A and B are shown apart, each in its own frame.
Chain A
Amino acid sequence: MATLTAPVKEIRKSEEQEALITGSEAIAVACKLANVDVITAYPIRPYDTVMQYMSQLVADGELDCEFIVAEGEHSQFEIVKHASACGARTFCGSSGVGWMYAMEALTVTPALRIPLVALVGNRTLDDPGAFGVEHNDALSVRDLGWMLVWVDNAQEALDTALIAYRVAEDRRMFVPLAISCDGAFLTHSQSYVKVPSSEQVKKFLPRYDRGDLLLHPDNVISVAPQANEDWVMEMRRQNYAVTERACDVIREVYADFERIFGRKYGNPFFEEYLTEDAEVVLLGMGTLSTPVKVAFDKLRKQGKKVGFVRLRWFRPFAGPEIAKALERFKAVGVIERDLSLGSPDLSGVVATELRSAMYSHAKTRPPVLDFLCGLGGREVTVADVERITDLTFQAANGKQQPLTQWIGLRG
């Protein structure tokens, strides 16, 4: 599975082409299509696969950009922050504790209105040192003004990276955006991907124009002075305003993506699978979708009315839309690869967030169960999904269930 393929060398000018590439390479191809100016890198698995593809593109003369290997993740994110302030389109990324090591740089980026696009190759946070996927790394910035999106296949990774630049660099936004790709399942697995032509991308992605925020001798400004309580609250309100309009901007960009590339994503915020006549649904993010879809195809043949909602955008969290989509079901089961230790109901981050959205926006509130699974990169099997579905059906039929349950755990 985890084989390095030769990078997609030739981007055709006016014609789409197909390639067998990994999720990481798909991101690299998107960066090439977006013609990024500055890339910073520091190796950590699984993000480092992107770094390898990128460095090869640069070494082969396929991509003309500054490729800087920093001495650590903190510098990696600081460098692109400054480059972006100077008007460069940038790319950066990390995984797990590398992402956490950059935390101070990550926290300052939204307030400075830096439209940095980053890849988080989701990885377990140490300790123990482990490569496998968990989502707590990316989720750690969920309250800080970053946009967060999860993808579940290489095609979506490529498309979402293009969408990410367009959304982040929209003047109404100007905030950083992280694309989450599940370690191993997506970063290291190849599949067929349609690579758009450079002409299409040119139509979709305008030049990054920082306007009066450009740090340049011809536009003299100072950025990030020290301030006291007379100023901070107003600055926070400015970032809050971004979150107020984020969903509208994302909708607009997806519509334009569909117009130019012809690929439809429907509702940008979540994908619905077999939900139309479903009685119970599961909801999850990332590559968990694969075993769920396989299991549900099987269960549907047995006459069980099950559906799946795959959440793409976690920030912004499209609360009213998600609640509206879920209120009609008899029970909702959240499956998630993260923890929120000590949270209400001792659930994961996604279930806690979803319950909050349902409380505010749903007309009827079906039980929302939470299933913690696949931690540390453990495989979530079709059998696991069947068990989760069974428990959710039991809740739908009125049987009391614990609100949070561990699945695939040795007793």
Chain B
Amino acid sequence: MGQLFAVEVIGRGIFQDTLAKNITRGIVLAAHNEGKLGISFGRYGDSPERNGIPAKKFAIVASDEKTLQLGMAHYQPSQVDISIVLDDTLCKGIESWAWDGVHAINEAVKRGGTQIVVSTQDPDALLKLIHRRNEPYKLGIVKGIASFSGLWVYKDDHTDVRILGAIAKAMPELFGLASIEKYIQAKLKDGAAKAQSAHKAYERFTPVEIPAGKGNAEPLPRFELPGWSEMRLGVSVAGQPQGGPFEDPVTKKVGGHRPVRNDKFMKYTTRSQRPVINFQTCTKCTLCWLNCPDGSFDVTPDGLYDADLNGCCGCGICEAVCPVKDCITMVSEAEFHDNDSQWLRFKKNKDDYITWLTTTIKGAEKERTHGFRYRGQYQEQVPAALEIAQKS
């Protein structure tokens, strides 16, 4: 058997689908310049045509045809040499669109393999999100914000070639810088600038060793798939009980309504932004609760509306329908490390909550998530993104 390489690229459905495809194609084409063979494909079950769904694409490269066939025998590689994450909010865990439990972002990385993340954060900050492993691996950052490169009219921001440069550094046996340059010159527009971007990324990429056991210790929600004779008949799913009132932990008042939600269907990994609620300005108009397509809002005993952050997929409809200025604000997931109830936090210490709220919203207004906050925001962010990329 010859040499076999597997690389996965994890991005958000629709927004990063083209970018991920460009990267996996680039890997195969760059490796081909060194006489290697390869294929590039997407995980079929991901349905990456859905907003924000974590989706995977793969590049399998081999030194010869027989070895490539061996690599293709598994449709989806369960082990990869390099895993690339295009949006750092995905570091909290990912799931396929057809839900089968949350998986750690680094689950497929081989022992000693490399996890590459496009992020403005440093490895220590990301390790609060990335789940711990039993084996050591490397973690490297390509500095940048979540790129939309290749999506409709969005400008090419060189994210694809910068990642190729980082790969050449992480695994020179896959391909070297010269092969990337040859690929860029042959296949891409604006070759000289892109070759330079790849070169810079190569030089700057400095992955750090992550020892076994370091990282987020939270358990991942998983479940066992039932056998055919245990499953309900008729392609049917039992409904959840209705739910009911619950207790205010401070006043001990019982009231409101919390529906029972399916604990096997938590959609938070789809989310790259979450609603942050100012409970002091809320007029209890009910619109967020009525319009939420996922029934994610609880009615609290004091008549407020609290988003259940395990069920919320971050669509932003609540923010859009809320008639009060800055009462519901969608904030980038990068700001958060848990799915805890905002209302509980508010009840425990209102002043503390409001202080946190104002700083978070203030900071968040500069953040871009997959849902733009207003027309033209992307264009405004281009200079800042360039600066991050050039100075990193």
Q: Which of A219-227, A268-276, A308-316 contacts B (4 or more CB under 8 A)?
A: A219-227
**Beyond A222-B239, A230-B225, A234-B227, is A213–B234 a contact (Cβ under 8 Å)?**
yes
**Beyond A237-B228, A238-B231, A238-B233, is A220–B45 a contact (Cβ under 8 Å)?**
no
How big is the B interface, by class? 20 to 34
Q: How far is the CA of A228 from the CA of B44 in the complex (A)?
A: 10
Cβ contact of A229, chosen from B45, B233, B235, B238, cutoff 8 A: B45
Question: Measured between C-beta atoms, what is the minimum distance from B271 to chain A in Å?
Answer: 19
Q: How far is the CA of A155 from the CA of B290 in the complex (A)?
A: 57
**Beyond A112-B234, A221-B236, is A228–B228 a contact (Cβ under 8 Å)?**
no
Cβ contact of B234, chosen from A113, A231, A233, A234, cutoff 8 A: A113
Task: Say whether A225 contacts B235, CB under 8 Å.
Answer: yes
Cβ contact of A220, chosen from B226, B228, B229, B239, cutoff 8 A: B239
The chain A residue sitting closest to B234, CB to CB, is A113
Question: Measured between C-beta atoms, what is the minimum distance from B251 to chain A in Å?
Answer: 32
Cβ contact of B239, chosen from A112, A221, A227, A234, cutoff 8 A: A221
The binding surface of chain B is classed by DSSP as loop
Task: Say whether A234 contacts B100, CB under 8 Å.
Answer: no
The chain A residue sitting closest to B237, CB to CB, is A222
> In the assembled complex, which residues on chain A have CB atoms less than 8 Å from the CB atom of B233?
113, 174, 213, 238
> In the assembled complex, which residues on chain A have CB atoms less than 8 Å from the CB atom of B100?
228, 230
> In the assembled complex, which residues on chain A have CB atoms less than 8 Å from the CB atom of B45?
228-229
Task: Say whether B235 contacts A224, CB under 8 Å.
Answer: yes
What 0/1 pattern do residues 86 to 98 of B give for CB contact below 8 A with A? Answer: 0000000000111
Task: Say whether A228 contacts B226, CB under 8 Å.
Answer: no
B41-89 residues at the A interface, CB under 8 angstroms: 45
**Beyond A230-B225, A238-B228, is A223–B235 a contact (Cβ under 8 Å)?**
yes
Q: How far is the CA of A228 from the CA of B50 in the complex (A)?
A: 15
The chain B residue sitting closest to A219, CB to CB, is B239
> In the assembled complex, which residues on chain A have CB atoms less than 8 Å from the CB atom of B240?
220
> In the assembled complex, which residues on chain B have CB atoms less than 8 Å from the CB atom of A229?
45, 98
> In the assembled complex, which residues on chain B have CB atoms less than 8 Å from the CB atom of A112?
234-236
Tell yes or no: A341 within 8 A of B by CB: no
Task: Say whether A234 contacts B226, CB under 8 Å.
Answer: yes
Cβ contact of A230, chosen from B98, B234, B235, cutoff 8 A: B98
Task: Say whether A221 contacts B228, CB under 8 Å.
Answer: no
Cβ contact of B98, chosen from A223, A224, A227, cutoff 8 A: A227
Question: Measured between C-beta atoms, what is the minimum distance from B293 to chain A in Å?
Answer: 15
Tell yes or no: A235 within 8 A of B by CB: yes
Question: Measured between C-beta atoms, what is the minimum distance from A82 to chain B in Å?
Answer: 13
B170-223 residues at the A interface, CB under 8 angstroms: none
Q: How far is the CA of A301 from the CA of B355 in the complex (A)?
A: 105
Tell yes or no: A403 within 8 A of B by CB: no
Q: How far is the CA of A134 from the CA of B265 in the complex (A)?
A: 48
Task: Say whether B235 contacts A234, CB under 8 Å.
Answer: no
Tell yes or no: A38 within 8 A of B by CB: no
What 0/1 pattern do residues 236 to 267 of A give for CB contact below 8 A with B? Answer: 01100100000000000000000000000000
Task: Say whether B238 contacts A221, CB under 8 Å.
Answer: yes
Cβ contact of B237, chosen from A225, A228, A230, A234, cutoff 8 A: A225
Task: Say whether A226 contacts B98, CB under 8 Å.
Answer: yes
Q: How far is the CA of A142 from the CA of B346 in the complex (A)?
A: 62
The chain A residue sitting closest to B45, CB to CB, is A228
Task: Say whether A223 contacts B226, CB under 8 Å.
Answer: no
> In the assembled complex, which residues on chain A have CB atoms less than 8 Å from the CB atom of B236?
112, 213, 221-224
> In the assembled complex, which residues on chain A have CB atoms less than 8 Å from the CB atom of B228?
233-235, 237-238, 241
> In the assembled complex, which residues on chain B have CB atoms less than 8 Å from the CB atom of A237?
228
Q: How far is the CA of A226 from the CA of B99 in the complex (A)?
A: 10
**Beyond A221-B239, A229-B45, A230-B98, is A235–B225 a contact (Cβ under 8 Å)?**
no
The 9 closest A-B pairs by CB, nearest first: A220-B239, A228-B98, A234-B228, A113-B234, A237-B228, A228-B45, A221-B236, A213-B234, A222-B237
27 contacts between A and B (CB under 8 A): A111-B234, A111-B235, A112-B236, A113-B234, A174-B233, A212-B232, A213-B233, A220-B240, A221-B239, A222-B236, A223-B237, A224-B236, A225-B237, A226-B98, A228-B97, A228-B98, A228-B100, A229-B98, A230-B100, A231-B225, A234-B227, A234-B228, A235-B231, A237-B228, A238-B228, A238-B231, A241-B228
Interfacial residues, chain B to chain A (CB-CB below 8 A): 45, 96-98, 100, 225-229, 231-240
Q: A223-B235, A228-B98, A233-B228 are in contact. List 4 more A-B contacts (CB 8 A).
A: A213-B233, A221-B237, A222-B237, A225-B237
